[in-house]
Structure formats: C-alpha cells, structure tokens
C-alpha cells in the first residue's frame, strides 16, 4: 500500500524561496556581467573591441597553419559584419602598436587580456569610415582634426555631396559656412579660384554685384586714406594735406562704416561718405587761390597726357595700302583737331611771359 506524502506549507514555501533566491542570484550575475562589460567599454572605448580583433585575427603574411587565429574574413562572418569593419579595427590596433600603445599582433593569442589605453586615445587611431584610409580621406581627417571636430563627421559629409548641396540650399547658416570654407581654400587651390572667377564672369548678376562691391571698396579706401595718412587726392589727381575739418568728417563716416555688421550692406554708406568727402575736397580747392591754379594746371596736363597717348596710337604702321582705309571724314576730323590744337597753342602763347631784352640779347 502506497502512502502519499503531502508537503507541508512550510516545505513548499521554503522551496519557492530557494528558487526565488537562485533566480535573483542569476539575475544579479547577469547584471554584474553587463556592468563589467560596460565598465570596460567606458574605460577603454573601442580598445576592447580592437583587442578582440587583434588577438583573434592573424596578421597579414601568416598562413592558417602557423597560428590558431582566423582571417579577417572568417572573423567578420562569425561576427556578422563586414570584413572592412574588422580591418578598420585591425589597422587602428596596428598603428597603436607601432606607437607602443598596445602589444603587436604576434604577442597576442585568442582569449588573452592586456592593459588597454584610455578611451579618448582610441579615436586618434580608429577611423569609422573606409574612405579615411585613402589619400583624400587622410587630408579630410587632418583638416577635421585641425578644426577640432571628429573626422568621421567630415568624412560622412564628403561622402554625401548631394546631402551637402541640399543643406547649403536650404540653410543660410550652412551656406555661410561653405562660403567661408571656399574662401579659406582659394589661396592653396588655384584651379578652384579660376573656376569661381569664371562662374562670376558668366553670371550677369554676379558681375554687377562684384562691380558694385569693388566700387564701394574703392570709395571706402579713399575715405580711409584721409583718416590714416592725412592726405587726399583732388579730382585732378593731386595729393594734398587734408584740412582738419575734412579729416574729422572722414573719420566720422569711416567709424559708421566700420561698425556695420558683416552681412550688412555697406554700398550706400560708402557712397554717402565718398560724396561728402569729395564735396569738402572741392571746397578746399576752391577756397585756396594758389591750390585752385595748381588744380587747373594738373587737370590740363592730365588731359594733355591722355590726348597724346591716344594720338600716338593713330599710326598707319600696320596698313599695307592706305587707300584701303581712306575716308573723307578721317581727314575732316584731323583738320578739326589740328585747328583746336592750334587755337590752344595760340592761347597759351598769349600767356607766355615776355623775356627781358637783356636776356634776349644774351641768348643772341
């Protein structure tokens, strides 16, 4: 006869408590393991994964029979990722080993642990994108480091020119950053400079804008010279000392222009400053009889020099047969010009000072 033994309530409770405690211990162990793994990654960053690659992937040149390690391709298949990703970790470790930061591959074996550098050092060796391994990628990486940003961000932008274009078109801030970058690059990239100039020349609106900015710049330089050098050029081209009133007015206008924000239009301010200063220069010339005479003389010489240069170009040296180009109007215009020159000479001769008789006799 079989007698069934029914566990008491105390025994059941004790069994459940033991099972619960065991489950709690297992959970705590799992959490502790996660915490340890997290701590390793927090302290070492990518070094922890680099070590796994370095101690498991055989170096180049070693055959399968020479080491228990596997190829990068096999490791990638086991890891469920690309061989390129594995090789990026491999090459990062290789560079660090050359610098003495970590052991070389040959000194490592599967499962072996070593002391690892700090996490922030990892990014000095690891590049998350395969494009960084090219000459172009290295140049982008160096530029990114010089700007104090992570190379991966710059490489990502370089690999997506369409996305970059979209950001420039949609966002003024991105467009401004791109403009400044292009300007910084012009000195070292003559080809880019040439292409930009051609683009400007081919675009009517840009040509007009460049001409307007150039004119505004010349006007500001005219005013600035008065303030900084204390001299001003008259309409006839003379350089004279600027009166105190003129310098004060020029300085006032220049201070207003210098206080403008970078994106603020300066053309109107430059025009107003230039016109005001030019009016004061004209008043200065007119108020001084001697200076007024010098100005008229300088203006005459300037016109005479221009006319002389133009007339010197009127030659027939490159004409084989003058009959081919002859027209009556040519002769008529030259005759009119001759009369004008004659009248000018006559007017000047009437103003010629009369030499003393003694001086004339001496010359005779």
98-136 pLDDT per residue, tens: 999 999 998 999 999 999 888 888 877 876 655 555 677
**pLDDT over threshold 50, residue 364:** no
Question: Binning pLDDT at 50, 70 and 90, where does residue 358 land?
Answer: very low
- Measured CA to CA, the distance from residue 151 to residue 124 in angstroms comes to 10
Say which DSSP state 6 is in: P
Other Cβ atoms less than 10 A from the Cβ of 226: the count is 24
Question: So where are the chain's domains?
Answer: 43-126, 160-202, 204-291
Question: What value does the CA radius of gyration of the chain take, rounded to a whole number of Å?
Answer: 43
Per residue in 32-44, pLDDT (tens digit) is 777 877 776 667 6
Average pLDDT for residues 266-292, to the nearest whole number? 87
Side-chain-side CA neighbours of 25 within 13 Å: the count stands at 6
Please state whether the predicted TM-score (pTM) of the whole model is above 0.85.
Answer: no
Please check whether residue 301 is in contact with residue 307, taking contact to mean a CB–CB distance below 8 angstroms.
no
- Measured CA to CA, the distance from residue 150 to residue 134 in angstroms comes to 17
Average pLDDT for residues 202-226, to the nearest whole number? 88
Per residue in 152-207, pLDDT (tens digit) is 777 777 778 888 899 999 999 999 988 888 888 888 888 989 998 898 889 989 88
% of the chain with per-residue pLDDT over 70: 84
Per residue in 281-331, pLDDT (tens digit) is 888 888 888 888 888 888 888 888 888 888 888 777 766 777 777 888 988
Structure tokens at 104: 């070389």
Please check whether residue 49 is in contact with residue 89, taking contact to mean a CB–CB distance below 8 angstroms.
yes
Question: Binning pLDDT at 50, 70 and 90, where does residue 63 land?
Answer: low
* Residue-by-residue DSSP string for 245-303: HHHHHHHHHHHHHHTS-TTS--HHHHHHHHHHHHHHHHHHHHH-HHHHHHHHHHHHHHH
Other Cβ atoms less than 10 A from the Cβ of 220: the count is 20
Question: Tell me, what's the pLDDT at 103?
Answer: 94
Question: Tell me, what's the pLDDT at 104?
Answer: 92
- Measured CA to CA, the distance from residue 174 to residue 264 in angstroms comes to 18
């Amino acid at each position: 006869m079989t007698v069934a033994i029914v566990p008491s309530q105390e025994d059941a409770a004790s069994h459940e408590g033991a099972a619960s405690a065991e489950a709690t211990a297992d959970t705590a162990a799992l959490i502790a393991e996660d915490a340890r793994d997290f701590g390793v990654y927090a302290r070492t960053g990518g070094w922890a994964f680099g070590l796994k690659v370095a101690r498991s992937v055989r170096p180049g040149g070693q055959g399968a029979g020479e080491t228990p390690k596997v190829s990068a391709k096999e490791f990638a298949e086991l890891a469920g990722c690309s061989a390129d990703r594995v090789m990026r970790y491999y090459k990062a470790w290789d560079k660090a080993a050359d610098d003495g930061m970590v052991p070389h591959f040959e000194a490592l074996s599967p499962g072996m642990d070593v002391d690892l550098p700090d996490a922030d050092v990892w990014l000095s060796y690891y590049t998350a994108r395969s494009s960084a391994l090219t000459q172009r990628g290295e140049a982008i990486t160096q530029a990114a480091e010089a700007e104090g940003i992570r190379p991966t961000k710059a490489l990502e932008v370089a690999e997506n020119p369409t996305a970059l274009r979209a950001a420039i078109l949609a966002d003024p801030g991105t467009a401004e950053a791109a403009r400044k970058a292009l300007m910084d690059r012009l000195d070292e990239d003559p080809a880019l400079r040439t292409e930009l100039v051609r683009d400007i020349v081919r675009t009517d609106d840009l040509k007009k804008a460049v001409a307007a900015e150039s004119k505004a710049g010349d006007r500001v330089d005219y005013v600035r010279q008065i303030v900084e050098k204390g001299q001003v050029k008259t309409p006839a081209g003379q350089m004279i000392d600027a009166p105190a009133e003129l310098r004060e007015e020029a300085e006032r206008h220049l201070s207003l222009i210098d206080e403008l924000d970078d994106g603020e239009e300066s053309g109107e301010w430059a025009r107003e400053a230039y016109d005001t200063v030019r009016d004061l220069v004209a008043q200065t010339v007119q108020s001084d009889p001697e200076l007024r005479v010098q100005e008229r003389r300088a203006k005459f010489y300037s016109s005479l020099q221009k006319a002389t240069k133009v007339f010197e170009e009127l030659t027939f040296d490159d004409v084989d047969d003058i009959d081919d180009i002859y027209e009556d109007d040519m002769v008529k215009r030259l005759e009119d010009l001759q009369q004008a020159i004659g009248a000018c000479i006559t007017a000047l001769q009437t103003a010629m000072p009369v030499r003393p008789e003694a001086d004339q006799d001496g010359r005779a």
